[in-house]
Amino acid sequence: MSKASSIRNVLRMLGRLDFLGRGVSRANVPEKGAGGGECSKIPIRSQEGFSLLTVLIAVMIVGIMTSVAVPKFSAAITTANTAKVQSDLTNIDAAITMYKLDTGKNPSSIENLSGYLTDYENIKPPQGNCYVRNQEEPITVSAAAYGIEVKDSEYRAVCEGRTAGEFGKKAATAAAGGNT
C-alpha cells in the first residue's frame, strides 16, 4: 500500500473531522496515480472558523472595553440628568419672575406658571442620578414634579428641596489644579 492511499484511507475514516480549525477536504486529496504517484504534501483547505483561543481573546477584549465604557456611560447619563434639572429649574425661576412682574404676587404653586412655561405638562425631573455640589456621590432623584419653595426669602423652583445653583459637579479647588 502506497503512502498516498494510506492517507486517503485515514481521511475517509475521519470524514471531515476538524482538528485545530483546519478542515481537510476529500476533494483535495490526490487520487491514486495522480501527480505521478508521489504525494509530497497533503492539500488542506484554508481555515474556515475561529479557534477557541481566538474566540476567548475576542471575548476578553470586549469585556475589557465594556468595563471601561459602562462607567463612562453612567457618568454621561448622570451629567445629562444634572444639566436637565439645572435647565428646568432655571426656566421655572424665570417664569416665577415673569409671573411676579405680571401679577404683582408670588405664585402659590407651579400650576400657576402654566402660561409662562413652554410645554408645561411635560416638565418633570429625570429619573436617575444627579450631581449635587459639595457632595462626593450623586443623589438619586425620585421627585415626580418640581416645586416652589421660599429660599433666602425668595420664591424659587426646587427639585428634591434644592435650587438650580445647588446642582452640578463639585467645584475644583485651586490647590487641586496646581494653580495658586
- Quote the pLDDT of residue 18: 46
Q: State how far the Cα of 81 lies from the Cα of 141, in Å rounded to an integer.
A: 9
Burial 71-102 (b: 16+ CB within 10 A, else e): eeeeeeebbebbebbbebbebbbebbeebeee
Q: For the segment 77-96, what is each residue's pLDDT rounded down to a tens digit?
A: 999 999 999 999 999 999 99
Q: For the segment 14-58, what is each residue's pLDDT rounded down to a tens digit?
A: 554 444 444 545 555 555 555 555 555 555 556 577 888 999 999
- Give the pTM: 0.61
List the beta bridge partners of residue 130.
Answer: 139
- Quote the pLDDT of residue 180: 42
Q: State how far the Cα of 107 lies from the Cα of 110, in Å rounded to an integer.
A: 7
Closest CA to 121 of 132, 131, 110: 110
- Quote the pLDDT of residue 30: 53
Q: For residue 136, which amino acid is it?
A: E
- Quote the pLDDT of residue 129: 93
Q: State how far the Cα of 141 lies from the Cα of 78, in Å rounded to an integer.
A: 10
